Amino acid sequence: MEKVFFLLGSKGAGKKELLYNLFESGFMSGEEKTVCISREELLGDFSKKLKGLEKTEVVAWDLKDGWILNCDAIEPGKTVFVVADGLLNPVDQLELWREYFNQKGWVVARIVSVVDCRLLKHEALVPWFDACIHFSDAVLLNHRTDISNAAIKHFIERYQSLHFPCLFDYVKKGKVDNWEKVFNDEARRMTGCFDPEY
C-alpha cells in the first residue's frame, strides 16, 4: 500500500526546494519514491535537481474535467510525494486527490503546508491559509527574511488559540532542523477525511 505525503502552499513557497533538501539529507535513502508535481509548478531548478536524484521519479500531474492525470503509471511500492498547484483552490485539489487515493488504495501519511511568510501581510489570504492549515499535520514557515517576529508569532498563535493540533516549524535555508518530526505517519490534522477508516 503506497504512502503519500502531500505538500500544500502558494507558488514560490519553496515546496520543491524542501523536498530536494529532504532527500539530500538522507531521508528515505535507498528507497524508491515518486514526486508528483503540478505541471504549473514543474519549471525551475529544483524540479531539475529532483530529477537528478537517485531512486527519485518526477511526474508532472494535470487536472482535466475533474480527473487527476499522468499518475497512473506510478509503480507499486513507492512512497509518493504530491506537490499541489499553488494557484488552484487547495480544497478542490484535496477533494479530487482524496478520491484518487481511495481508488488507488494509497494512504495519506501527512499533509504539510509550506507558508511563504512574505504573503502574511495580505489579509485577503487569511481564508486561503485557513483552508490549507485545516488539512495540515505540519506547517512550515518559509521566506521569513525581513518579516517581523511579531507577525510570525501572531500567525502561529491565532491557530493555536483555535486549538489547531498541527505542528509549526521554521524553514532555514530550505531546510528544517528535524525532518523526521515533520515527515512521519502521526496524524495531527483537524480533518479526518483522509483517515483510512473515514
What mean pLDDT is predicted for residues 170-195?
A: 91
pLDDT for 20 beyond 90: yes
Residue 187 placed within a domain: no
Conformation bin of residue 30: beta by default, left when phi > 0, alpha when psi is -120 to 50: left
Amino acid 198: pLDDT: 53
Residue 195 placed within a domain: no
pLDDT-derived band at 63, boundaries 50, 70, 90: confident
**DSSP SS3 for 163:** coil
Q: What are 138-160's pLDDT values in tens digits? A: 999 999 999 999 999 999 999 99
What mean pLDDT is predicted for residues 16-31?
A: 94
pLDDT for 189 beyond 70: yes
Amino acid 197: pLDDT: 61
Number of domains forming the structure of the chain:
1
Higher-pLDDT residue of 67 and 41 is 41
Answer yes or no: pTM beyond 0.85. Answer: yes
pLDDT for 36 beyond 90: yes
Give the domain range for residue 126. 3-182
Amino acid 196: pLDDT: 66
Residues 6 or more apart in contact with residue 48 via CB below 8 angstroms = none
Q: List the beta strands (DSSP E) in the chain.
A: 3-8, 33-38, 56-64, 67-69, 79-83, 107-116, 138-142, 167-170
Higher-pLDDT residue of 71 and 166 is 166
Q: Name the percent of the chain lying above pLDDT 70.
A: 97
What mean pLDDT is predicted for residues 93-109?
A: 91
Residue 93 placed within a domain: yes
Residue 79 placed within a domain: yes
Residue 190 placed within a domain: no
Amino acid 64: pLDDT: 79
CATH number assigned to the domain comprising residue 47: 3.40.50.300
Residue 101 placed within a domain: yes
What mean pLDDT is predicted for residues 13-38?
A: 94
Residue 189 placed within a domain: no
> 24-38, 55-69, 92-106, 134-148 — which one is most confidently predicted on average?
134-148
Amino acid 121: pLDDT: 95
